[in-house]
Structure 1
Amino acid sequence: MRIWQGSSPAFTFVFTMGIVNLFGDVTYEGGGSINGPFMATLGASAAVVSITAGAGEFLGYALRPFSGYLADKSGRYWLITFIGYGINLIAVPAMAVAGNWQVAALLVLAERVGRAIRKPTVEAMISYTTGELGKGWVYGLNTALDEVGATIGPLMIAAVLFWNGSYQLGYLLLLIPALLAFLSLAVARAGFPVPSKLEQGQTASAGDFSPAFWGYMIAGAFFAAGLMSFELISYHFDRTHVVTGQWIPVFLAISTGCGVLVSLAFGKLFDRFGLPVLLVAVLLSATFSPFVFFGGFGTALVGIVLWGIGYATQDTLLKALVATVLPEGRRNLAFGLFYGGYGIGWLIGSVVTGLLYERSILALVIFAIAAQLASLPMFVLASRLQR
């Protein structure tokens, strides 16, 4: 397999959609780097911040089966993609005019709803290239470009804060990458109106939803329950002064910057070794919480890098894993259902960690570690069912 598919239409499509996601991640990861502290300035508590983030992630996953089903039935995957990106991206700069935490919370939810609408269609369209390029490499490359954007966005916000700019100014500046994302998406639509023509071989081998598919979904839900949102992490940093305000976006940028390398490496390794790569990644991710919540600046930095490995895992390896059990003709729905289950786990984890934060940090850390470690035997069992 060629590492750089410069003459390949499949690679061109994956790379173009990666550029869309790059600008998209600049927008909403830039906003996400300050959502927690910004909501705190509007009077939101730790529980409100965590539960809002958790509810947003839940909606961002739970609505995916519906958008995936609609895409499979209607065939209007590009239209659905444009609608999703529209809601997803515009909600971020709109935070600049939020006058209270309730409005800010609604915009956080809206951003995640838009993501839910467009995610299954994007993942399904990209899946047509996996026969030529490899499942791990395709989703690893796409995630790596995501993470480049997710690194640039927080650094933009950090620069604003270092120059004593306001949170509102930071949100307004994110309108620029939002518009660039729309432009890139239009280029992708013009160049590849029917992505299914890129398919080589049979990239969706399952006849229907198998026991392995449902097993992977349950395992993913446990993994999600222990991952937690950056909104809660940034709230903790701001509240305890372990990491000062302008450094919080930099921490997110460092995490996502490491995620670029992790996504590319894990993606290639997954194509060669399969499930063991995912298991190692989960083990690394499970250790992030004690570093984040106990200790000082340096310890927190180690924790945020490990947390970034967790995010790279869910964005690269879980997608590659699902791609091995996709049912033909229902791949939009399959991605939607998988991440719907993932979202249920995320919501439960966010509610639990948000409530535990005010009562016992130790209990919060134990819960986060236990939830992610519990996913390991479930992934193994589902893999055996697949074989």
Structure 2
Amino acid sequence: MDHQRRALWSVVLFGVVSLLADVTYESARSIIGPYMAVLGASAVAISVVSGAGELVGYGLRLVSGRLADRKQRYWLLVWIGYTVNLLAVPLLALVGRWEIAAVCVIAERLGKAIRAPARDALLAQATQHIGHGKGFGIHEALDQIGAVSGPLLVAAAMAVGLGYRGALGLLIVPALAALGALRLVERRFPPAEQAPLQSMEMNATPVALPTTFYRFLIAACLAAAGMVDFPLLAYHIHTAGFGQALVPLLYALAMAVDALAALVLGRLFDRLGLRTLAAASVVSSIASVLVVASGSPTSGIVLPVALALGVVAWGVGMGAHESILRASVAVIVPARLRGSAFGLLSAWYGGAWFLGSSLLGMLYRWHPMAMAIAGAALQGAAAAIWFISGRTHTN
């Protein structure tokens, strides 16, 4: 019982760290475009910097994940990553040139790339006594609270006249609070969970990732490629005649469903395993179909119930991707290889999302329903692989 209590507190505190971290950098991401424009950056420069940041943020996880496993210095990488990730944000308030702001933006993504695989490996260890699905579900739910409240905090700061610099400078408060919470996590982290990570020999011969992981990775890439970006769904919602004011409300609904789904799916995952991912993928596969079917610029037909159901289905998919997708790695991969596995998953998932978004965007220009059907097919293929793998893994 003591192990379970300490493990649960570790997961909750890690979730609080993520909540405060999301308040910090998601707030900045909501205004960084116009802020860089004020500093003199062109639209092309803003786009290139954003793309470079995402490339660094996902691509370098391959390296940081391998490094975490090879050196077994998980906490060191977590501390370096969070420090760079968080302090780069309030530093934006001090810059006077957009080029320096670009360095801060990329540094923020670099910090996230450094700490994410190591943090997920530690989370996987902490959740072994309470259930990987439950643990990652709690973490994602708290993370989403930060992701939603962060931009609202910046909006409030801007509304009272602080401006871009004032709003960004204010983010030093959640940044330092996140680092303080991280220290609490490290102090309370269960020794029984820490030991398997730190007792490995530094120079031990690496063991190959299991074949099951690569099947899981293929399915994850298919699911990522099939998830339609919300901005594209929002574009369709707007052009279908639903009105601009409805879009942010629907996005808030999706984020709320994301958080709730992470909790529910996490509990189900601990009982049903990969088959939970399969079921969630089936649900999310109908999201874009429902949104597209809810209305179009030419038909004049508006179906608000279908639209709401589509947004809910999209939120379920995102909740699954952000929680039990990571919990699956904890179940499939041995502890000493999880840093590498999480890094590999992040890099390939990010690449597949980018390629899928490009393909689905081109299909949308041809016909919106073609985009929706293609996305559903990709997610259906992922569901089939996860269902078969889940049965095999259970047996």
Q: TM-score, normalised by structure 2?
A: 0.77
Q: What is the distance in 1 between the residues matched to 2:363 and 2:87? A: 33
The answer to whether structure 1 residue 309 and structure 2 residue 316 are counterparts is: yes
1:318 corresponds to which of 319, 325, 345: 325
2:21 corresponds to which of 20, 24, 39: 24
Q: What is the distance in 1 between the residues matched to 2:101 and 2:358? A: 19
Q: What is the distance in 2 between the residues matched to 1:103 and 1:302? A: 43
Contact 1:154 1:253 (8 Å CA) reproduced: no
Q: Displacement, 1:147?
A: 1.5
Residue type of the alignment partner of 1:218: I
The answer to whether structure 1 residue 155 and structure 2 residue 152 are counterparts is: yes
Contact 1:26 1:150 (8 Å CA) reproduced: yes
Q: Residue by residue, what CA displacement relative to the aligned partner does 1:262-288 show, whole Å, maximum 9, x if unpaired?
A: 111111111122233222211222233
Residue type of the alignment partner of 2:142: L
Would the alpha carbon gap of residues 358 and 148 (structure 1) be closer, same or farther in structure 2, given more than 3 Å must change? same
The answer to whether structure 1 residue 130 and structure 2 residue 137 are counterparts is: no
Match of 2:193 in 1: 196
Residue type of the alignment partner of 1:154: P
Q: What is the distance in 1 between the residues matched to 2:110 and 2:379? A: 25
Q: What is the distance in 2 between the residues matched to 1:332 and 1:301? A: 38
The answer to whether structure 1 residue 10 and structure 2 residue 7 are counterparts is: yes
Contact 2:132 2:270 (8 Å CA) reproduced: yes
Contact 1:43 1:101 (8 Å CA) reproduced: no
Match of 1:285 in 2: 284
Would the alpha carbon gap of residues 336 and 230 (structure 1) be closer, same or farther in structure 2, given more than 3 Å must change? same
Match of 2:210 in 1: 210
Q: Displacement, 1:88?
A: 2.6
Q: What is the distance in 1 between the residues matched to 2:139 and 2:183? A: 18
Residue type of the alignment partner of 1:215: R
Match of 1:347 in 2: 354
The answer to whether structure 1 residue 266 and structure 2 residue 292 are counterparts is: no
Contact 2:226 2:377 (8 Å CA) reproduced: yes
3-state SS, counterpart of residue 129 of structure 1: helix
1:87 corresponds to which of 84, 102, 117: 84
Match of 1:373 in 2: 380
Residue type of the alignment partner of 1:273: L
Q: What is the distance in 2 between the residues matched to 1:257 and 1:136? A: 18
Q: What is the distance in 1 between the residues matched to 2:166 and 2:211? A: 49
Q: Displacement, 1:182?
A: 1.6
Structure 2 gap ranges (5+): 197-206, 296-301
Structure 1 gap ranges (5+): 200-206
Aligned length in residues: 375
> Which runs of structure 2 are paired with 1:41-56 in the superposition (5 Å)?
44=43, 56=53
3-state SS, counterpart of residue 313 of structure 2: helix
The answer to whether structure 1 residue 226 and structure 2 residue 223 are counterparts is: no
Match of 2:342 in 1: 335
Would the alpha carbon gap of residues 335 and 211 (structure 1) be closer, same or farther in structure 2, given more than 3 Å must change? same
Q: What is the distance in 2 between the residues matched to 1:110 and 1:374? A: 36
Contact 2:329 2:338 (8 Å CA) reproduced: no
> Which runs of structure 2 are paired with 1:63-142 in the superposition (5 Å)?
63-93=60-90, 109-142=106-139
Q: Displacement, 1:126?
A: 1.5
Residue type of the alignment partner of 2:69: D
2:183 corresponds to which of 183, 186, 189: 186
Contact 2:223 2:382 (8 Å CA) reproduced: yes
Match of 1:203 in 2: none
Measured on the aligned residues, the alpha-carbon RMSD in Å equals: 4.1
Q: Displacement, 1:86?
A: 2.6
Residue type of the alignment partner of 1:265: V
Q: Displacement, 1:139?
A: 0.8
- Which has the larger displacement, 144-153 or 187-196? 187-196
Q: What is the distance in 2 between the residues matched to 1:254 and 1:274? A: 27
Contact 2:225 2:357 (8 Å CA) reproduced: yes
Rg larger in 1 or in 2? 2
Would the alpha carbon gap of residues 354 and 171 (structure 1) be closer, same or farther in structure 2, given more than 3 Å must change? farther
Q: What is the distance in 2 between the residues matched to 1:313 and 1:14? A: 18
- Which has the larger displacement, 109-118 or 18-27? 109-118
- Which has the larger displacement, 170-179 or 94-103? 94-103
- Which has the larger displacement, 33-42 or 270-279? 33-42
Q: What is the distance in 2 between the residues matched to 1:22 and 1:233? A: 26
- Which has the larger displacement, 135-144 or 349-358? 349-358
3-state SS, counterpart of residue 324 of structure 1: helix
3-state SS, counterpart of residue 133 of structure 2: helix
Q: Displacement, 1:19?
A: 0.7
Contact 2:275 2:391 (8 Å CA) reproduced: no
The percentage of counterpart residues that share the same residue type is 37
Contact 2:92 2:104 (8 Å CA) reproduced: yes
The answer to whether structure 1 residue 254 and structure 2 residue 261 are counterparts is: no
